[in-house]
Amino acid sequence: MNTGLESIGERLPDPFRLLVRESSGSTNDDLRELATAGAPDGQILLAHRQTAGRGRRGAAWHVRPGESLAFSILVRPPEPPALWPRLALAAGLAVAEAIGSFGIQAGIKWPNDIWIAGLKVAGILVEGGPGFAIIGIGINVNTTTFPEEIASIATSLRIQGGREFPPDDVLAAVIGRFARRRLQIDAEFPELVSQIQSRCVLTGETVTLQTSSGTKRGEVEGIGGGGELLLRTGSDLERIIQADEVRIQHSA
């Protein structure tokens, strides 16, 4: 399959390098095996076809050849492991900025989705390992139709931009921006958070979300200095570090 991806190596900044496979159950799982065997920082694994990919909480993320990008990035950060969860924010910002470089405005739906016009165009899943982290990224690039169960909530760059987008250009744009943003999870984190705050699509919205302590509902006041969601619940302002199933509550 000729997508331009196989010859993209010279366009990627150090230390990133790309390995392309025709098919993968999950690029995160396959890259974990490579990491355990000693693969270096910056290794990217991309599959033309992904059959058992997953998002948060195990939700399926299927990839059809030529329509979407499914890839995982191996990083061996020098920063303390306690800061590694911030890589999800760095990756999300990188994807949003990359999409913006093609003239399409994208926002960040905390904690790990990228939206265009209220619809999901990309998702991110960060998983840790001994001495490394893997950032899985899925982007709907040239998809025009979606399964019925997600058709009302998903979109693609092609749908929003009205044209096809070369997958290699999209991948190069994402990696180029991630190369910078991954370095900002420690001392430069305020700059990273500032850019995320300006792109947060949840600010001002009433949401429900699932946390380790149960379901919460409130109005989002933005993103805090540590990358947490600021949720106003009555007279209290809660700082949500992790959550699943963040849903906007639309007025009837």
Yes or no: say if 69 and 53 are a contact pair by the CB < 8 Å rule: no
Tens of pLDDT along 113-154? Answer: 999 999 999 999 999 999 999 999 999 999 999 989 999 999
Task: Calculate Rg over the CA atoms of the chain.
Answer: 18
Tens of pLDDT along 177-210? Answer: 999 999 999 999 999 999 999 999 999 999 999 9
pTM > 0.75 = yes
Average pLDDT along the chain: 92
What pLDDT shows up at residue 57?
A: 46
Cα-flanking dihedrals φ and ψ of residue 75, to 5°?
-130, 145
What pLDDT shows up at residue 251?
A: 63
Could you tell me the pLDDT band of residue 50, with boundaries at 50, 70 and 90?
A: confident
Could you tell me the pLDDT band of residue 14, with boundaries at 50, 70 and 90?
A: very high
Region 69-81: mean pLDDT is 97
Tens of pLDDT along 203-248? Answer: 999 999 999 889 999 999 999 999 999 999 989 999 999 998 899 9
With a cut of 70, say whether residue 98 has pLDDT above it.
yes
Cα distance between residue 89 and residue 196, in whole Å: 8
- Residue 119, judged by CB atoms within 10 A of its CB (0-12, 13-18, 19+), counts as middle
Yes or no: say if 109 and 202 are a contact pair by the CB < 8 Å rule: yes
CATH of 5-188, one of 3.50.50.60, 1.10.10.10, 3.30.930.10, 3.40.30.10: 3.30.930.10
β pairing state of 43-50 and 17-24: parallel
Region 158-167: mean pLDDT is 97
What pLDDT shows up at residue 63?
A: 57
With a cut of 80, say whether residue 6 has pLDDT above it.
no
Tens of pLDDT along 52-66? Answer: 655 544 455 555 667
What pLDDT shows up at residue 238?
A: 96
The ranges assigned to domains in the chain are 5-188, 206-248
Architecture of the domain made up of 206-248: Roll (2.30)
